[in-house]
């Protein structure tokens, strides 16, 4: 049956989601502590998995083992990449649940919030563990449906409109993904991802451009999920309208899992790295990185500014992935590939932490000042020193200022681009970093410096919100230790090796 720990990442949040309405009838406080306890257990299990030997682990539900070498059951697969993603998901979720205990007190209908939050968590964990295209699609839809509802949770006009835009774009992404999965099933007669990989790599029938046609449809769907320009229209409204813990989840986790992780899994582990597809991914990344940061610097709504930076920072990650895939496809230097994938994955986890912290800081400001418009702020440093300190650390991290974690991951991507001969993209990365710094200097200046309005009676955020922000700020500094081999070997190297040994996925993921 394999590693039975894997099923808990899906079972526990689903169980909590269905238990919350019942628990709420007995105690309205118990539900938030239940969700916090579940997130703590899952974070602990994520750490347990990641410190285990970096082998591929398989859990076959119901004991449906392959028949005549044909996988017929539901497979949950844990390798270096999926364990790395589980750590990202459950770390951000844990901080968001602790933060939400105080933040959500001003909202009604909390039982619905926590139920949807658990469904979103179950879907995210399911996506990174799914070993077949059908369940990958199902878990992506579970996550998406919960996210649509969470964006509209406040039921104000702007939130409902943002959710509607998100649903329309998400529906288009679903259509593209479903068409791509149908095409894959037509060509391979299987939905198991490892089996698809084997069939495509050893195929007797030459499908010619049908494979690339299918890849482009799937990539279009995933680009919408990741909000890459020009598929980004839903993200600024959705991220800025949602409650701040939800914004932190959407930016810190959802766009990474539904977009970037699935791109990595499908286009490296399942499909062989393709030069044309790698160029498309790198161009999407470069375009998003550049356009996102210039859209951000002109924004005055703080949460919208942060949303545009999510597009920009994910552009760094996708540009790095595209460069790494291109070097692999051309048979280039292995050192450049390793450095690129290391930088891209490092920036993924860095972004999850510092962008999550920025959205939580924005939530604290909105909670205290009643606004997210930078023009209506000023002098908050006097009243909210802890929020200012935490947001300053996150601002320096996202701008790539040493010794904060964002510097090292951006530096790795830029150096890898130079080693791969992509000098224009390396220059672009430096320019975007400078503009990012300018954008966050603007944030710090207008929000925290200057003079407060006369008669201001703003108070610092409640205790659990402060503890969460300070913990994440410390993490922004501590994660700089990933540059040291002793730490990198535990957290980053297994995921990078999974990408480098892409052909092994097809073999290892079919062995119980």
Task: List, for residues 484-496, the tens digit of each pLDDT value.
Answer: 999 999 999 999 9
CA distance 354 to 363: 14
Q: Which two tokens stand for residue 410?
A: 């951006």
For 425, residues 6+ apart whose C-beta sits below 8 A from its C-beta are 282, 286, 319, 323, 417
Q: Can you give the pLDDT at residue 54?
A: 67
Asked if residue 100 lies in contact with residue 38, where contact means CB atoms within 8 angstroms, the answer is: no
For 2, residues 6+ apart whose C-beta sits below 8 A from its C-beta are 57, 58, 59, 60, 76, 512
Residue 265's DSSP bridge partners are: none
For 469, residues 6+ apart whose C-beta sits below 8 A from its C-beta are 99, 357, 360, 361, 364, 386, 387, 390, 391, 461
Q: Can you give the pLDDT at residue 363?
A: 92
Task: List, for residues 271-320, the tens digit of each pLDDT value.
Answer: 888 889 999 999 999 999 999 999 999 889 999 999 999 999 999 999 99
Cβ count near 203 (within 10 Å): 12
Q: How confident is residue 335, by pLDDT bands cut at 50, 70 and 90?
A: confident
CA distance 400 to 425: 17
pLDDT for 23 beyond 90? no
Q: Can you give the pLDDT at residue 1?
A: 45
> Tokens 């930016």 map to which residue?
251
CA distance 249 to 272: 31
Domain of residue 155 covers: 5-508
Asked if residue 210 lies in contact with residue 187, where contact means CB atoms within 8 angstroms, the answer is: yes
114 or 451, higher pLDDT: 114
What value does the mean pLDDT take over residues 59-78? 76
pLDDT for 9 beyond 70? yes
Q: How confident is residue 199, by pLDDT bands cut at 50, 70 and 90?
A: confident
What value does the mean pLDDT take over residues 381-397? 93
> For all residues of the chain together, what is the average pLDDT?
89
What percent of the chain is predicted at pLDDT more than 90? 61
Give me the number of domains the chain comprises: 1
CA distance 176 to 216: 9
Q: Is 74 exposed, middle or buried (0-12, 13-18, 19+ CB in 10 A)?
A: middle
pLDDT for 28 beyond 80? no
Number of H helices and E strands in the chain, helices first, is 22, 2
Sign of CA dihedral 480, 484, 487, 491: positive
Q: How confident is residue 61, by pLDDT bands cut at 50, 70 and 90?
A: confident
CA distance 312 to 87: 23
DSSP state of 242: S
Range ranked top by mean pLDDT from 28-37, 59-68, 246-255: 246-255
Q: How confident is residue 512, by pLDDT bands cut at 50, 70 and 90?
A: low
> Tokens 């299990």 map to which residue?
45
The CA R_g of the chain, rounded to the nearest whole Å, is 22
CA distance 9 to 485: 29
Sign of CA dihedral 442, 391, 315, 296: negative
> Tokens 């329309």 map to which residue?
168
**Among 55-69, 415-429, 453-467, where is mean pLDDT lowest?**
55-69
pLDDT for 380 beyond 80? yes
Asked if residue 400 lies in contact with residue 350, where contact means CB atoms within 8 angstroms, the answer is: no
CA distance 398 to 437: 8
pLDDT for 251 beyond 80? yes
Q: Which two tokens stand for residue 110?
A: 């909390």
Q: Which two tokens stand for residue 378?
A: 């000023």
For 392, residues 6+ apart whose C-beta sits below 8 A from its C-beta are 444
> Tokens 């002098």 map to which residue?
379
In sequence order, what DSSP letters do the residues of 250-313 get, joined into one string?
A: IIIIIHIIIIIIHHHIIIIIISPP-HHHHHHHHHHHHHHHHHHHHHHHT--BHHHHHHHHHHHH
Q: Residues 210, 234, 135, CA angle at the centre, nearest 5°?
A: 50
Range ranked top by mean pLDDT from 237-251, 345-359, 453-467: 345-359
> Tokens 């891209």 map to which residue?
344
What percent of the chain is predicted at pLDDT more than 70? 94
For 345, residues 6+ apart whose C-beta sits below 8 A from its C-beta are 84, 492, 495, 496
Cβ count near 371 (within 10 Å): 13
pLDDT for 177 beyond 90? yes
Q: Can you give the pLDDT at residue 201?
A: 78
pLDDT for 36 beyond 50? yes
Q: Is the pTM of this model over 0.85?
A: yes
What value does the mean pLDDT take over residues 381-402? 93
Q: Can you give the pLDDT at residue 456?
A: 62
CA distance 247 to 267: 28
For the stretch 225-241, what's the b/e string if a residue is b when 16 or more beta carbons lie within 10 angstroms of its beta carbon? bbbbbebbebbbbbbbb
pLDDT for 197 beyond 80? yes
> What contacts 24+ positions apart, CB below 8 Å, involve 383-386?
383/452, 383/456, 383/458, 383/459, 383/460, 384/448, 384/458, 384/460, 384/461, 385/460, 386/460, 386/461, 386/466, 386/469, 386/470
What value does the mean pLDDT take over residues 328-342? 86
pLDDT for 32 beyond 50? yes
Q: Can you give the pLDDT at residue 178?
A: 95
Q: How confident is residue 371, by pLDDT bands cut at 50, 70 and 90?
A: confident
């Amino acid at each position: 049956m394999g590693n039975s720990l894997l099923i808990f990442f899906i079972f526990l949040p689903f169980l909590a989601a269905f238990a919350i309405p019942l628990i709420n009838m007995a105690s309205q406080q118990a539900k938030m502590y239940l969700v916090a306890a579940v997130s703590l257990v899952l974070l602990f299990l994520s750490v347990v998995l990641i410190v285990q030997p970096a082998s591929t682990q398989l859990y076959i539900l119901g004991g449906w083992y392959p028949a005549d070498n044909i996988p017929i059951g539901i497979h949950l697969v844990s390798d270096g990449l999926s364990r790395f993603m589980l750590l990202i998901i459950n770390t951000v979720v844990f901080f968001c649940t602790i933060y939400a205990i105080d933040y959500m007190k001003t909202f009604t209908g909390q039982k619905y919030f926590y139920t949807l939050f658990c469904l979103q968590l179950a879907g995210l964990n399911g996506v990174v563990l799914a070993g077949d295209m059908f369940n990958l699609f199902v878990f992506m839809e579970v996550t998406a449906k919960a996210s649509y509802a969470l964006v509209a949770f406040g039921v104000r006009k702007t939130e409902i409109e943002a959710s509607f835009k998100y649903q329309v774009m998400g529906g288009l992404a679903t259509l593209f993904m479903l068409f791509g999965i149908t095409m894959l099933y037509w060509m391979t007669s299987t939905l198991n991802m490892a089996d698809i990989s084997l069939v495509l790599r050893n195929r007797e029938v030459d499908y010619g451009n049908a494979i690339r046609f299918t890849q482009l449809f799937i990539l279009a769907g995933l680009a919408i999920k990741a909000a890459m320009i020009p598929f980004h229209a839903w993200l600024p409204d959705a991220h800025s309208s949602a409650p701040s813990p939800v914004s932190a989840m959407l930016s810190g986790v959802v766009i990474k899992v539904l977009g970037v992780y699935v791109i990595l899994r499908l286009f490296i582990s399942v499909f062989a790295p393709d030069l044309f597809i790698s160029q498309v991914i790198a161009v999407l990344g470069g375009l998003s990185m550049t356009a996102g940061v210039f859209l951000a610097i002109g924004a005055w709504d703080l949460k919208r500014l942060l949303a545009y930076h999510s597009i920009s920072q994910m552009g760094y990650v996708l540009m790095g992935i595209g460069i790494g895939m291109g070097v692999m496809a051309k048979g280039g230097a292995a050192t450049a590939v390793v450095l690129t994938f290391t930088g891209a994955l490092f920036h993924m986890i860095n972004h999850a932490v510092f962008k999550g912290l920025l959205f939580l800081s924005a939530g604290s400001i909105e909670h205290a000042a009643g606004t997210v418009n930078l023009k209506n702020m000023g002098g908050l440093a006097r009243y909210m020193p802890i929020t200012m300190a935490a947001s300053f650390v996150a601002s320096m991290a996202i701008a790539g200022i040493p010794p904060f974690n964002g510097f090292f991951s951006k530096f790795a991507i830029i150096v890898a681009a130079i080693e791969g001969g992509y000098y224009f993209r390396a220059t672009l990365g430096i320019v975007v970093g400078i503009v990012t710094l300018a954008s966050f200097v603007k944030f710090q200046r207008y929000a925290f410096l200057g003079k407060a309005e006369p008669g201001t009676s703003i108070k610092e955020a409640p205790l659990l919100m402060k503890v969460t922000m300070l913990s994440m700020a410390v993490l922004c500094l501590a994660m700089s230790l990933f540059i040291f081999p002793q730490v990198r070997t535990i957290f980053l190297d297994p995921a990078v090796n999974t990408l480098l040994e892409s052909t092994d996925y097809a073999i290892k993921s079919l062995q119980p």
